[in-house]
Structure 1
């Protein structure tokens, strides 16, 4: 079942066409990656889905309530962590006992419970990011939109966020992830959409649209053999006992980064 469906969405800012007849769907229980260079239309798309922008052509179908982590952070810096989380939780009418339980759970899960009574402005950038992340999911939304969620996080804290995202996916949440860190898209996402000038230039499963090729060098009768071939053909060669024992070099050369650059430079 789909959590989000966009049908022929177009959006103008004055005379500038930001989105051009854009259509795609995001399924429940998947992590969907939205990619594109600055100005490609990512933020406009996310704001339309979240309901911040309502002046557009086309149709958006939303199956559930939304949690949105914007790229521009909006925490009240002079407020305490617990008060910020309580404020945003109450906006969603979460019962007091349930809200306290949710706050304590996520603060412990993200190793920031010791900052519960600290003001936001005293926290590091990474810890502020974790509080902002909690704000976006505190109300147990069905659809979660994460715009650059890994900003300011070291590898330890990134893994904490990753574990929560995977847990939400297992619960059947609809998750839309937008980031410039392409390796995170490759690691997290089931399907992706690449935007260029408001249009979808690539859309689908990573293993379908990111065709991998391989480069292999091996010795045969003291001669160096070099091949550029498909990833599947390369794996077949690796099963040949005479070849795999004489490999000099083996590289997988196609990646999401190459695909992304190709579609945005063309």
Structure 2
């Protein structure tokens, strides 16, 4: 088995905006073929950290080492809404230094994969919010980057397209891509990420595998009852009691146990509220 490469290495990162210290001496690593979650409250320093890794912000203290090409999906959309989808994607492909034929092939591949090929010749502004988000995602992966940075990638997506994006992210991970994911949707972090970094006021408060930093366990259960499919998220202890019922156990379809980031995050939110009131 080959050695797993470090694709991003951050050491003692500090960033000021005027007199305000937005990033306070943080260190972490992102490995090849993993999905890495970045969590924190508004103003915790997530987006600033992502922009530094992406090379958008370059005046900082500390060390940031990036091994490979980067694709970046920002939280704010940067699309030219009066241009046609294909033209916008072609522009960003050229900007990334891609060859003309490669650009065409990759645009068609990704538009079809994300079920928006029919909009290729439509203006961006005519697309729904979710489909505009898909276009923005394509921009981040069009040039086949090694490291993919996604800031709130699920914005505007319905349940069908959430599942589609989930499948694509796991495919990219299997290809060895390193994915850095920041979102407020904690259940997405729990289901997607191998490891997480939790920031608070620009400082690292938790770093590692979710099962290492979380103590509370939750369970997702699917079973048939009275001819209907029942789906439930329950505390682990309640789920164990539920499936001891012989009828439910016989009709059990899925039982997944995972650590609860929500409990951890709510605890930190409560602490922050108390600190602000002092």
What is the CA deviation profile of residues 194-225 of structure 1, one whole-angstrom value per residue up to 9, with x for unaligned ones? 100001111100111112258xxxxxxxxxxx
> Mapping of 1:214-229 within 5 angstroms?
none
Tell which structure's C-alpha radius of gyration is larger. 1
Aligned equivalent of 1:2, options 3, 6, 9: 6
CA distance in 1, matches of 2:245, 2:154: 41
Structure 1 segments of 4+ aligned residues over 3 angstroms from their partners: 243-246
| Gap change, CA 1:245 and 1:184, over 3 Å in 2 | closer
| 1:123 paired residue number | 127
Unmatched 5+ stretches in structure 2: 219-234, 247-256, 272-278
Instruction: Check conservation: 2:183, 2:189, Cα contact below 8 A.
Output: yes
What is the CA deviation profile of residues 147-186 of structure 1, one whole-angstrom value per residue up to 9, with x for unaligned ones? 0000000011111211111111011111000000001001
Aligned length: 239
> Mapping of 1:130-209 within 5 angstroms?
130-209=134-213
TM-score after normalising by structure 1: 0.85
CA distance in 1, matches of 2:203, 2:58: 19
Secondary structure, counterpart of 1:200 in structure 2: strand
| 1:101 paired residue number | 105
| 1:262 paired residue number | 267
Report the aligned-residue RMSD.
Answer: 2.1
CA distance in 2, matches of 1:210, 1:175: 22
Unmatched 5+ stretches in structure 1: 215-229, 247-251
